[in-house]
Copies of this chain bind each other. A is one copy, B any other.
Amino acid sequence: MFPDRLHRFKKSFLRESSTVAPLIQGHQSRFVEPFTGKYCGYKHIVSGSRGARVPYERDRTFTRDGFSSSRHQIKFQCGAALRGTCSSSFLGNLKSQRSVGQRDHPGRRSVSLTSCPRHDCPDTELHRPTDRRIQGLPRSRFFPCSFCLVLFRLLPSPSRPPFYESGDRLAKPPRPQEFRKDASVTGEAKDHHHHLGLLDLTAHIYTKFFAVVAPMVASPPSERRDGEVLVRIKDEQVSLIFDGGGGGAPPAGGGPPTSAGGGTNYWAPPPIRINGVRPELIGGDMRPPLAPTTPRQTPTVIMGEAGGVRTMVWSQPEPPPPPPTSAPSTSLPSPSSSTSSSSNWPSSTTVIASNQQSPNQEETAAQLLLTLGQECVSNTNGRTTPGDGGPLVGGGGGSGAGGGTSGAGGPGSCRSLNMERLWAGDLSQLPGAQQITALNLSWAKQPPAQPQDPEEDEQPMICMICEDKATGLHYGIITCEGCKGFFKRTVQNRRVYTCVADGVCEITKAQRNRCQYCRFKKCIEQGMVLQGKVQKAQEILTERADEGRNATGKGETVDEPRTWDPTTSRQRNYSQDCTYQSQRSERFFCYFHVREVCRSRIYQILKIILILKLKLTIKLKVVYLRQRLDNAVSSSRDRTLPIDATLSMIQTLIDCDEFQDIATLRVSVSKNYNGRI
């Protein structure tokens, strides 16, 4: 009753506050016109299984992220070499150094191995990231394709650090240029189209319509080549889906594909097709090959290792390496410099760690924590000035200048907050609750060591979809929680995805959120099914197909008292199902490399074997496998396994040398099969 009431309450709550209605996600996908921001329509399936989409107005072709509709894209041009379109917000985000491209894993701290954001572009075949790096883009460490690099040169961001060229040297910083949407920038994109040599096709599409093929020439690394090759990709995806109105030819790139500079000699059309259209050379400049990375200049931010992923740490345990020469003056701020005009700069001006070398900020936090009860007792007795908490923290820090807030001798809410000290690890400014949780200042600086209690010899299961750590058997295969939820949401809401590439996106842990279509496709291919309920539905189906004895449906009364018992109900189901199975289709009984073998029962076996092989491969403990196998053999659920499948499974186990007591398995199996083994 309680969940019922809760449920009803929640529903009414959601219904009541219509604003909260969108809390339930995905019911209606409103689409935002990219430029205007207007909501253009609902994309939904209205009635029955016939997907009906509210037809969009003709002049409002768009997609959700604003990449697809060419009408809302900004043309840009750089000389004759670079010319193209991209969405305005994309450019804006690039310009403002925000993260572009597909977002990373939302729930994760550890950002792992992302690649060029141009993977948003439709062609996945072409985005092998280069090994160039771009400094200055926030928070997504990607390996940009060369098109990205070119675009970055277009953006006037003088504060951005210069490009890093991986192997050899620092490239010249890009000359700040005024970027206007329609202005043809006089880039110094000199077209060195000489000696391209071997075209190593590391082409990366930039937008939906363009790709840059960066030639990877095996040449001395000191040689500079600035050429790039622009490839035009027709916008087939859009016209395909939205039918974009008149023909769907991208209005961008008014100029004919004149490969300015004569790079055509070196450029050969790639053997692949992008959206079914062969790329077309329109210009560009070349890129030198990239050697393995040089040790980069130490950024002003210290990067730490967190969970196997390098993250940026603001406060580091050891003194930073000497700053590079080109960096702006990183002189430690004297208190006067930071508080020179601080008549209302609220807190005390002593920067705690300004002189000491900050031995360990977390240690400091721990110290603070230990002495929490003594030094920060209660606020009612009298405020402890923030400077008073100093002595534990820094040796030279607690000069206590200007203690307390500037003017207001008010209540505790008037306590000032020195944010620099806060980020430096001074938790005494926080109320007691946060002192320990500490705003999770370790957000970006997770401990590098990760003691990892040493019983993790067990390598975890890995997801069959994305290679993440799996949590078990979900919907038929071993998946992680993410893929499980993704599959569930997809089927539950009948979402329709499209791949902006050609449908062969790689699904890894880092990339699984890039393409929903390909992720779901892989789910299907790997055999995810909604079982559970399926068995019931299947029962109904088969019973209906048999003779229709239960056609009256739910109106009938149940004779036997059905207390829900998982074992008995399961037993009943399986015996029944086995009957059904024996009735029809011996053709399903075959070995597991045959496709039709995959009826659900046998498919369970296959999955188990899969687990087995997988785990053996990654050197999991055999004992775990044996447990799984024991379960598979002895549990009532799998008791109806065909003998052949069982035998093959056992054979698989035998093949593993680490396996120990196969005899017991044999015994148990033979017991289950009346000694037929």
Closest B residue to A293 using CB positions: B16
Q: A141 on the interface (CB 8 Å rule)?
A: yes
Interface-centre pick from A5, A21, A301, A417 (highest chain B CB count, 10 A): A21
From B19, B97, B358, B366, contact of A541 by CB (8 A): B366
A493 and B444 contacting across the interface, CB-CB below 8 Å: yes
Q: A369 on the interface (CB 8 Å rule)?
A: yes
Q: A345 on the interface (CB 8 Å rule)?
A: yes
Q: How far apart are the CA atoms of A593 and B450 in the complex, in Å?
A: 35
Q: A248 on the interface (CB 8 Å rule)?
A: yes
A:310-339 near B, CB below 8 Å: 310-320, 323, 328-333, 337-339
Q: A26 on the interface (CB 8 Å rule)?
A: yes
A543 and B19 contacting across the interface, CB-CB below 8 Å: no
Known: A362-B537, A443-B491, A534-B438. A424 touches B49 (CB 8 A): yes
Taken residue by residue from 12 to 43, chain A's Cβ proximity to chain B (1 for < 8 Å, 0 otherwise) reads as 11111111111111111010000001010110
From B41, B53, B345, contact of A338 by CB (8 A): B53
Q: A673 on the interface (CB 8 Å rule)?
A: no
Taken residue by residue from 502 to 536, chain A's Cβ proximity to chain B (1 for < 8 Å, 0 otherwise) reads as 11100000100000010011001101111111100
Q: How far apart are the CA atoms of A22 and B110 in the complex, in Å?
A: 13
Write out the residue numbers on chain B whose beta carbons fall within 8 Å of the beta carbon of A431: 242-243, 524-525, 527, 595, 598
A:376-411 near B, CB below 8 Å: 376-380, 383, 405-408, 410-411
B598 and A503 contacting across the interface, CB-CB below 8 Å: no
From B372, B406, B534, B618, contact of A437 by CB (8 A): B534
Known: A358-B49, A527-B431, A587-B373. A299 touches B3 (CB 8 A): no
Write out the residue numbers on chain B whose beta carbons fall within 8 Å of the beta carbon of A425: 49
Closest CB in chain B relative to A451 CB, distance in Å: 4
A18 and B236 contacting across the interface, CB-CB below 8 Å: no
B308 and A7 contacting across the interface, CB-CB below 8 Å: yes
Q: A434 on the interface (CB 8 Å rule)?
A: yes
Q: How far apart are the CA atoms of A445 and B554 in the complex, in Å?
A: 18
Closest CB in chain B relative to A143 CB, distance in Å: 7
Q: A459 on the interface (CB 8 Å rule)?
A: yes
Q: A275 on the interface (CB 8 Å rule)?
A: yes
Q: How far apart are the CA atoms of A411 and B250 in the complex, in Å?
A: 9
Q: A296 on the interface (CB 8 Å rule)?
A: yes
From B339, B365, B627, contact of A2 by CB (8 A): B627
Q: A655 on the interface (CB 8 Å rule)?
A: no
Interface-centre pick from A134, A244, A314, A606 (highest chain B CB count, 10 A): A314
Write out the residue numbers on chain B whose beta carbons fall within 8 Å of the beta carbon of A667: none
A344 and B503 contacting across the interface, CB-CB below 8 Å: yes
From B137, B332, B337, contact of A22 by CB (8 A): B137
Q: How far apart are the CA atoms of A492 and B430 in the complex, in Å?
A: 17
Closest CB in chain B relative to A56 CB, distance in Å: 8
Q: A239 on the interface (CB 8 Å rule)?
A: yes
Q: A583 on the interface (CB 8 Å rule)?
A: no
Q: How far apart are the CA atoms of A467 and B598 in the complex, in Å?
A: 39
A:528-564 near B, CB below 8 Å: 528-534, 537-538, 540-545, 550-551, 553-558, 561-564
Q: How far apart are the CA atoms of A140 and B306 in the complex, in Å?
A: 38
Among A84-92, A172-180, A349-357, A646-654, the stretch in contact with B: A349-357
B108 and A19 contacting across the interface, CB-CB below 8 Å: yes
Known: A452-B554, A504-B414. A469 touches B531 (CB 8 A): no
B433 and A600 contacting across the interface, CB-CB below 8 Å: yes
Q: How far apart are the CA atoms of A469 and B564 in the complex, in Å?
A: 15
Q: How far apart are the CA atoms of A113 and B19 in the complex, in Å?
A: 13
Q: A619 on the interface (CB 8 Å rule)?
A: yes
Known: A45-B315, A108-B18, A598-B431. A455 touches B296 (CB 8 A): no
Write out the residue numbers on chain B whose beta carbons fall within 8 Å of the beta carbon of A561: 621, 623
Closest CB in chain B relative to A520 CB, distance in Å: 7
Known: A438-B534, A530-B443. A603 touches B314 (CB 8 A): no
A314 and B51 contacting across the interface, CB-CB below 8 Å: yes
B23 and A141 contacting across the interface, CB-CB below 8 Å: yes
B420 and A51 contacting across the interface, CB-CB below 8 Å: yes
Q: A10 on the interface (CB 8 Å rule)?
A: yes
B433 and A22 contacting across the interface, CB-CB below 8 Å: no
Taken residue by residue from 590 to 617, chain A's Cβ proximity to chain B (1 for < 8 Å, 0 otherwise) reads as 0000111111100100100000000001
Write out the residue numbers on chain B whose beta carbons fall within 8 Å of the beta carbon of A18: 108, 110, 141, 296, 299, 303, 310
Interface-centre pick from A249, A273, A310, A618 (highest chain B CB count, 10 A): A310
Q: How far apart are the CA atoms of A176 and B672 in the complex, in Å?
A: 66
Write out the residue numbers on chain B whose beta carbons fall within 8 Å of the beta carbon of A531: 437, 440
Closest CB in chain B relative to A426 CB, distance in Å: 9
Q: A361 on the interface (CB 8 Å rule)?
A: yes
Interface-centre pick from A110, A113, A432, A438 (highest chain B CB count, 10 A): A432
Write out the residue numbers on chain B whose beta carbons fall within 8 Å of the beta carbon of A248: 341, 411-413
A533 and B109 contacting across the interface, CB-CB below 8 Å: yes
Write out the residue numbers on chain B whose beta carbons fall within 8 Å of the beta carbon of A554: 452, 454
A-B contact pairs, 6 of them (CB 8 A): A6-B627, A14-B310, A28-B301, A47-B332, A246-B379, A376-B596
Other A-B pairs, 12, CB within 8 Å; known A419-B496, A436-B603, A444-B491: A2-B623, A16-B458, A22-B137, A240-B345, A244-B411, A246-B412, A248-B413, A344-B503, A430-B524, A438-B529, A438-B538, A439-B529
